Amino acid sequence: MAKLFRAAIMGPPGSGKGTISKRIAHSFGLLYLSSGHFLRESITAKTEAGVLVKSFVERSMLVPDHVMTRLMLPRLEELSGNSWLLDGFPRTLSQARALNNLCQLDLVISLNIPYETLRERLSDRWIHPGSGRVYNMGFNPPRVQGKDDITGEPLIQHDDDKPDALMSRLRHYKDVAKPVIDLYKSQGILHSFSGTETDRIWPYINSLLSTKMHTQPPDTCQPQMP
């Protein structure tokens, strides 16, 4: 039986989760499962969960736990024979417990980035709303200013990426993430990384995963007790 490996990555807005996730997926052959991608996909497909998601997104509200788990868990069940990395789920303790009932994670990565670094990154961040592609004017600018590289459509800057809203977002993230971090810490699978530059954090994450993925016992995605 092939060795399966399932991990999740956590971090505040602007922490570089997306960049690091893509490096992990490329380097270790994991499926990169972004909750944001699944949210947009469900809205476009007008699924039952997607209709619910859209009703919250249109009002700029956080998608509730029961809707997120309804969206994510069936997709993960479909991928029970795959190794993967989750980005954006679970965000809350309720979501973490629901995931735990489906499948035991092997590793959780938590990114700790200083506020000033996050502020600088987010002030330069522009997004293509249709796909979720993210650009940074400092180190990952679009080929044509203000335009998405793939579609040529306009990029936007979220109001909540602006300095006035950022502190509130970070405070909310810390409040919600702490119980999740504590849960995974108690399970012995949490690994935290601190720094201001993704390229300096990456070698440590790469080394950890190289070690972990060569020592994992064979496994299947079976329900676990919370």
63 is in an annotated binding site: yes
Q: CB neighbours of 182 closer than 8 A, spacing ≥ 6?
A: none
Q: Is 91 annotated as a binding residue?
A: yes
61 marked as part of a ligand binding site: yes
Measured CA to CA, the distance from residue 30 to residue 8 in angstroms comes to 11
* Rounded Cα gap, residues 15 and 164, in angstroms: 18
Q: Is 134 annotated as a binding residue?
A: yes
19 labelled binding-site residue: yes
Q: 38 labelled as ligand-binding?
A: no
Residues with Cβ < 8 Å from 35, sequence gap 6 or more?
68, 72, 86, 87, 88, 89, 91
As a three-state string, the secondary structure of 156-219 is ECCHHHCHHHHHHHHHHHHHHHHHHHHHHHHCCCEEEEECCCHHHHHHHHHHHHHHHHCCCCCC
Torsion angles phi and psi, residue 109, rounded to 5: -100, 130
For 67, the token pair is: 């809707």
Q: Is 222 annotated as a binding residue?
A: no
Q: Is 70 annotated as a binding residue?
A: no
115 marked as binding residue: no
198 carries a ligand binding annotation: yes
Report the alpha-carbon angle 53-56-59, nearest 5.
145
95 is in an annotated binding site: yes
Residue type, 109: I
Is 62 one of the annotated binding-site residues? Answer: yes
Q: Give me the numbers of helices (H) and strands (E) for the chain, helices first please.
A: 8, 7
* Binding-site entries: 14-19, 35, 40, 61-63, 88-91, 95, 125, 134-135, 169, 198
* Binding-site entries for AMP: 35, 40, 61-63, 88-91, 95, 169
* Binding-site entries for GTP: 14-19, 125, 134-135, 198
